[in-house]
Structure 1
Amino acid sequence: MAGQNISHEGHRQRMRARVEQYGLESLAPHEALEYLLYITNARRDTNGIAHALLERFGSFAGVLEASEEELCRVPGVGPASARMLHLLPEVSRYYEHSRTSTEGALTTTERLAAYLKPRFAGAKQEKALLLSLDSRSRVKSVYWLKEGNARMVSLEVKDVVSAALRGGTESVVLCHNHPNGVPLPSREDLAATENIVRALGLVKIRLRDHIILAENDYFSMRESNRLPFYDFETGAMLRPYGRE
Structure 2
Amino acid sequence: MAEKKQIHSGHRQRMHDRVRDYGFDSLAEHEALEYLLYFTNARKNTNPIAHALIERFGSFAGVLEASEEELCAVEGVGPATARLIHLLPSFSRYYRRSCAKERRRLTTSEQIGEYLMAQFHGKRQEEVLLVALDDQGRIGRTAWVGSGGADRVGLPVKKVVAEAVRMGASGVVLSHNHPGGNVLPSREDLAATEEIVRGLAMVEIQLLDHVIVTETEYCSLRQENRMPLYDVHSGQVLLASRSPRRTQK
What is the TM-score normalised by the length of structure 1?
Answer: 0.55
Q: Counterpart in 2 of 1:188?
A: 188
Once the two structures are superposed, residues 31-67 of structure 1 have per-residue CA deviations (whole angstroms, 9 ceiling, x without a partner) of xxxxxxxxxxxxxxxxxxxxxxxxxxxxxxxxxxxxx
Residue in 2 that maps onto 1:149 = 149
- Give the distance between the partners of 1:118 and 1:111, measured in 2 at CA: 11
The 5 Å alignment of 1:180-219 reads: 180-219=180-219
Q: Which structure has the larger Rg over C-alpha atoms?
A: 1
- Matching residue of 2:162: 162
Match for residue 32 of structure 2? none
Q: Secondary structure at the match of 2:219?
A: strand
How far does residue 115 in structure 1 lie from its aligned partner after superposition?
A: 1.2
Distance 2:213 2:228 in 1: 19
Structure 1: gaps spanning 5 or more residues: 1-102
Matches within 5 A, 1:1-244: 104-241=104-241
Asked whether the equivalents of residues 105 and 136 of structure 2 are also in contact (C-alpha less than 8 Å), the reply is yes
Give structure 2 stretches of 5+ with no counterpart: 1-102, 244-249
1:63 maps to none
AA at the equivalent of 1:222: R
CA distance in 2, matches of 1:242, 1:146: 27
Query: How far 1:167 sits from its partner (Å)?
Result: 1.4
1:224 aligned partner, one-letter code: E
- For residues 198 and 146 of structure 1, the distance between their equivalents in structure 2, rounded to whole angstroms, comes to 19
TM-score with structure 2 length normalisation?
A: 0.54
Distance 1:198 1:236 in 2: 8
Instruction: Tell me if the contact between 1:201 and 1:231 (Cα under 8 Å) persists in the aligned partners.
Output: no
Number of equivalenced pairs: 141
Q: Secondary structure at the match of 2:135?
A: coil
Distance across 2 between alignment mates of 1:242 and 1:186: 13
**AA partner of residue 127 (structure 1):** E
Query: 1:155 offset after TM fit, Å?
Result: 2.3
Task: In structure 2, give the amino acid aligned to 1:189.
Answer: D
Secondary structure in 1 matching 2:215: coil
Deviation of 1:234 (Å): 3.5
- SS of the residue 2:209 aligns to: strand
Alignment check: 8 A CA contact 2:130 2:175 kept:
yes
Give the distance between the partners of 1:193 and 1:163, measured in 2 at CA. Answer: 16
Which amino acid letter does the alignment assign opposite residue 222 of structure 2?
A: R
Q: Report Cα offsets for 1:141-181 as digits up to 9, x if no partner.
A: 00101110001111221100011101112110000000011
Partners in 2 of 1:174 and 1:226 — Cα distance? 14
Identity level (%): 48
